[in-house]
Amino acid sequence: MSACLPLIQASRAIGSVISTGDVVIYESTVYPGATEEVCIPEIEAVSGLTFNVDFFAGYSPERINPGDKTHRIVNIVKVTSGSTPDVADFVDQLYASIITQARTHKASSIRVAEAAKVIENTQRDLNIALINELAMIFERLDIDTEEVLQAAGTKWNFLPFRPGLVGGHCIGVDPYYLTYKAQACGYHPEVILAGRRINDQMGEYIAGRVIKLMAKKSINPVGAKVLVLGLAFKENCPDIRNTKVIDLIGALGEYNVDIDVYDPWVDDAEAQQAYDLKMTDTLTPAHYDEVILAVAHEEFQRMGVEGKTLVRVLITGVAGFIGSTTAHRLLERGDEVIGIDDLNDYYDVNLKKARLARLREKPGFSFHKLDIADATAFKQVYQSAAPQRIVHLAAQAGVRYSLENPQAYIDANITGFLNVLEAARHIGSEHLVFASTSSVYGSHTNMPFSVHDGVDHPVSLYAATKKSNELMAHTYAHLFDLPVTGLRFFTVYGPWGRPDMADEAWNPAKPDPATSKDALGIKAIRNLMPLQPGDVPDTAADVSDLVHDMGYQPQTQIAYMQQDKDQTILVTGGAGYIGSHMCVELLQAGHNVLVLDDLSNSSEKSLQAVERITQKSLSFVQGDIRDADLLKNLFAENNIHAVLHFAGLKAVGESVAEPIRYYDVNLNGTLKLIEAMAQAQCKTLVFSSSATVYGMPEKMPIEEDTSTGAINPYGRSKLMVEQALMDLHQSDPSWRIALLRYFNPVGAHASGEIGEDPNDVPNNLMPFISQVAVGRRDKLSVFGDDYDTPDGTGVRDYIHVVDLARGHLKALQYLAQGPTLGVFNLGTGNGYSVLEAIKAFEAASGTSIAYEVVERREGDAAVSYADPQKAQRELGWQAEYDLARMCEDVWRWQKKHPNGFSD
């Protein structure tokens, strides 16, 4: 009964304020019968009222899952019950008014609802206990449990549980409620208690495994430094009730291990009060013999610290292109970074400051502005920071500049590097990594350049100083036993790069670069010049030693993942509105393009226009993605390395009238495509999803982790495809999949040669407006002007179709880095109302748009716009075009083609 004490106290409090006719609803997890046997008598005793005469009770078990951003109160099925039939109806209707995206399930009695709740967690507890016991068995058999589970998970009905600690105030406790009641009625449960015994001993079992691993590494556990990451009972929540991490810590303590516990989710005072545990405030750079990832918080997974050592790293040249990127990667894995840079004006200082601003947002980063040629200042910072490792990138770069300013190269590259070496020698360093350059190969003509080739004839002062750096590093390593690694960089490109090494203009307002042509409005003129002093005609690296000695193979390709010329990208639905613009971007980026389209809602003329725009050819096959034989032949006859999947039906209203057709084309068609890809070992896929998967979200802007809950067959078909692809990646992690949820594509290609040409009456706002402007439609229907928005009309996030296509290219580049699954919103992050869109189009076209306000459409949200920060951060993509540009391009297309491709 002690476990019911909080409920007893709460019931007494209710009893002191309850009135005749009131209904008390309980949500706490209890054993069957507890509400009516324990709680109700307390209310009666305090209030003097009679149950089911003067007051009544309901029960609806709480189902919120701490840390779960998907299953929330509005979209989970709620079990309801009441002490009388009328009360049961009342309770059910009450919850039905709250659970707007799911439904309720009315149980016949409170006891049934109580039992349903308690067995939910009991079942999970037993499933995890089974996997925990299997892990113990497989350890003795020297079999990798995770590999076994991945293999078994390929069976469609295998339950994906994982071994680990089972704590919290639900799964770890609820089975005991049930066994207590079972024993009270004369039954001794065996299976449930057996599962509890296994799970209760997991802390001790894991501690034993850690000690064994330490023994294999010849680490004495007595006094060994161990970092335990996480104290909460589960990931991404602060709840420490009944956390089994405490059992793990206690078991390790019996071996006299020196333990630090770090969990940014947990309140320090609560941990101290509940477990007399003082947690470490920060991830300190001290060396740990072992790191235990006890709780899989997202930030821990991003750090990649499982089994790794956290270190303090000094980076010189941290505001530079390579330095800032390196710092980001180290900070993301949990290291501390001390950055040094003099912020010279060799190129745009504002760009360097913008890089620093991004770094300063991350915990564990500090910055010192100083010149490494200043020995005193550098030594002071080095002594204060006490770095374990050094990444030395600060240097005066550039071949031609060295001819004009030789002293700058002597100061930064020679004197500065000497100061770094001296600090590492006298104050200490576990490892020094420094940047050299491919320029040291000079006029060498043996291609590709190998680390075994001679570097005795540099042809620039810059190269000569870097060659000197290599000699200095070799000497210090030999004389003073200083661990040093030199890296000869070739030509480095990427986001936030040097503006003098790319055709990109950096804009402080939009720091993710736009191409110079778009930013400046002019096209660059190529001026072919002879080689200048210090230039070399060709460079290419032989990376075989890098792969052999360091196990690192560069993967990311330059400029939208340039592929071998023989490789092809398949674009399904490539003749459609978005697909045709995608083909333009792909061809202009140098890709071979194969289009598959059934032309049910598109025209082959769009592809002819694509070839005119790009002056390049593509391949086209008319066919249906549900045709398995056709797909098999396409992959057999073409070297397809990636698929951009646009093909599908997309009208919301039509999907309501013809749901089976939508599931057949959108879901079944995608499954056929995936099967063909898998057979051909083509595992790179960018899927055209939609913001409709979010249904009716409660808050704006919409983030990727906003609850999904499509409210029409079209949206549900997209969501089902997403889930199928997620399950595919779960079963086979070698897939590279990007799910792009875009909002409202509008606009057209600047040439006016391709644009949106819907069959029959347009379903989307902008093509309807443009058809009114050219006289194809009499007027526009505005669905409602009484929304809670500034002008009463619906607000949407409109994105230019060219921006959208470029987002797909960024997704391809993202997938080129390795197997992954990413979900991204593609939108501007700005909402425009229907009336704002009309006014913008009128301004762009010089025409007046006739419209009338009609009734709202059922299911339309008042406001919907994206939070695109994840795509900006991880894809390096940002929408560039505003609403005015969208309208200008739509109008240009519509004027040239009043009847679309029928003209």
Give per-residue pLDDT as tens, 175-194. 888 888 888 888 998 999 99
Tokens standing for 263? 């969990």
Residue 563: predicted pLDDT: 43
Confidence of residue 633 (pLDDT cuts 50, 70, 90): very high
Helix axes 628-637, 669-679, angle to 10 degrees: 30
Helix axes 174-184, 110-140, angle to 10 degrees: 110
Question: Phi, psi at residue 791, to the nearest 5°?
Answer: -115, 10
The owner of tokens 């979209």 is: 75
CB-neighbour burial class of residue 345 (10 A; exposed 0-12, middle 13-18, buried 19+): exposed
Mean pLDDT of the chain: 86
Of 501, 483, 481, 504, which is closest to residue 491 (Cα–Cα)?
501
Tokens standing for 595? 């289009």
Residue 307: predicted pLDDT: 38
Confidence of residue 305 (pLDDT cuts 50, 70, 90): very low
Strand partners, 438: none
User: pLDDT, tens digit, for every residue of 549-562?
Assistant: 766 666 555 543 34
Please give the Cα distance from 252 to 256 (Å, whole number).
7
pLDDT beyond 90 at 544: no
Q: Are 94 and 106 in contact (CB under 8 A)?
A: no
pLDDT beyond 60 at 199: yes
Ranking 136-140, 232-236, 476-480, 748-752 by mean pLDDT, the lowest is 232-236
User: pLDDT, tens digit, for every residue of 319-328?
Assistant: 998 999 999 8
Structural domains for the chain? 1-198 (1.10.1040.10), 201-303 (3.40.50.720), 313-520 (3.40.50.720), 558-902 (3.40.50.720)
Q: How many C-beta neighbours within 10 Å does residue 550 have?
A: 11
User: pLDDT, tens digit, for every residue of 794-849?
Assistant: 999 999 999 999 999 999 988 987 889 999 999 999 999 999 999 999 999 999 99
Confidence of residue 514 (pLDDT cuts 50, 70, 90): very low
pLDDT beyond 70 at 566: no
Residue 885: predicted pLDDT: 92
Confidence of residue 362 (pLDDT cuts 50, 70, 90): confident
Please give the Cα distance from 345 to 494 (Å, whole number).
21
The owner of tokens 């409210």 is: 711
Q: Are 639 and 568 in contact (CB under 8 A)?
A: yes
Please give the Cα distance from 238 to 872 (Å, whole number).
29
Residue 474: predicted pLDDT: 94
Q: Identify the top-confidence range among 27-31, 400-404, 600-604, 618-622.
A: 618-622
Burial 96-117 (b: 16+ CB within 10 A, else e): eeebebbebebbebbbebbbeb
Of 59, 49, 160, which is closest to residue 112 (Cα–Cα)?
59
CB-neighbour burial class of residue 404 (10 A; exposed 0-12, middle 13-18, buried 19+): exposed
Helix axes 461-480, 416-426, angle to 10 degrees: 10
Tokens standing for 565? 């010329």
Q: Which residues contact 389 (CB under 8 A, 6 or more apart)?
A: 311, 312, 313, 314, 429, 430, 431, 432, 433
Please give the Cα distance from 430 to 764 (Å, whole number).
61
Ranking 482-496, 559-573, 598-612, 877-891 by mean pLDDT, the lowest is 559-573
Q: Please tell me what DSSP assigns to residue 506.
A: E
User: pLDDT, tens digit, for every residue of 81-129?
Assistant: 999 999 999 999 999 888 876 789 999 999 999 999 989 889 988 999 9
Residue 234: predicted pLDDT: 85
Task: Report the run of H or E that residue 373 belongs to, with start and end.
Answer: none
Task: Report the run of H or E that residue 473 belongs to, with start and end.
Answer: helix 461-480
Residue 865: predicted pLDDT: 93
Residue 308: predicted pLDDT: 45
Answering whether pTM is above 0.75, one says: no
pLDDT beyond 80 at 414: yes
Q: Which residue has the higher pLDDT, 245 or 448?
A: 245
Q: Please, what's the largest Cα pairwise distance for the chain?
A: 101
User: pLDDT, tens digit, for every residue of 481-513?
Assistant: 899 999 999 888 776 666 655 544 555 554 544
Residue 504: predicted pLDDT: 47
Tokens standing for 36? 């009516």
The three-state secondary structure class of 780 is strand
Residue at 849: amino acid letter: I
Q: Are strands 798-800 and 365-369 parallel, antiparallel or unpaired?
A: unpaired
Mean pLDDT of 339-356: 88
- The C-alpha angle 767, 769, 773, rounded to 5 degrees, equals 110
pLDDT beyond 60 at 154: yes
User: pLDDT, tens digit, for every residue of 714-762?
Assistant: 999 999 999 999 999 999 999 999 999 999 999 999 889 999 998 778 8
Confidence of residue 3 (pLDDT cuts 50, 70, 90): low
Please give the Cα distance from 480 to 500 (Å, whole number).
39
Task: Report the run of H or E that residue 113 belongs to, with start and end.
Answer: helix 110-140
Strand partners, 826: 742
Residue 261: predicted pLDDT: 92
The owner of tokens 């006029």 is: 443
Residue 166: predicted pLDDT: 87
Residue 536: predicted pLDDT: 64
Residue at 42: amino acid letter: E
Catalytic residues: 170
The owner of tokens 């476990």 is: 3
Burial 482-501 (b: 16+ CB within 10 A, else e): bebebebeeeeeebbbbeee
Please give the Cα distance from 421 to 433 (Å, whole number).
11
Of 508, 510, 363, 492, which is closest to residue 882 (Cα–Cα)?
510
Mean pLDDT of 251-279: 89
Ranking 95-99, 521-525, 761-765 by mean pLDDT, the lowest is 521-525
Q: What is the DSSP string of 284-329?
A: -----SEEEE-S--HHHHHHT-TT----EEEEETTTSHHHHHHHHH
The owner of tokens 């997209």 is: 718
The three-state secondary structure class of 482 is coil
Radius of gyration for the chain, computed over Cα atoms and rounded to the nearest angstrom: 32
Please give the Cα distance from 576 to 586 (Å, whole number).
15
Please give the Cα distance from 54 to 22 (Å, whole number).
8
Question: Phi, psi at residue 768, to the nearest 5°?
Answer: -65, -45
Tokens standing for 665? 């084309």
Residue 1: predicted pLDDT: 47
Confidence of residue 581 (pLDDT cuts 50, 70, 90): very high
Q: Are 128 and 188 in contact (CB under 8 A)?
A: no
Ranking 263-272, 527-536, 597-606, 866-875 by mean pLDDT, the lowest is 527-536
Residue at 88: amino acid letter: A
Residue 405: predicted pLDDT: 83
Residue at 754: amino acid letter: I
Q: Which residues contact 459 (CB under 8 A, 6 or more apart)?
A: 442, 443, 533, 534, 536
The three-state secondary structure class of 444 is coil
Q: Are strands 795-796 and 832-833 parallel, antiparallel or unpaired?
A: antiparallel
Q: Are strands 736-742 and 820-826 parallel, antiparallel or unpaired?
A: parallel
Task: Report the run of H or E that residue 341 belongs to, with start and end.
Answer: strand 336-341
Task: Report the run of H or E that residue 204 belongs to, with start and end.
Answer: helix 202-216
Residue 705: predicted pLDDT: 92
**Residue-level length of the chain:** 903
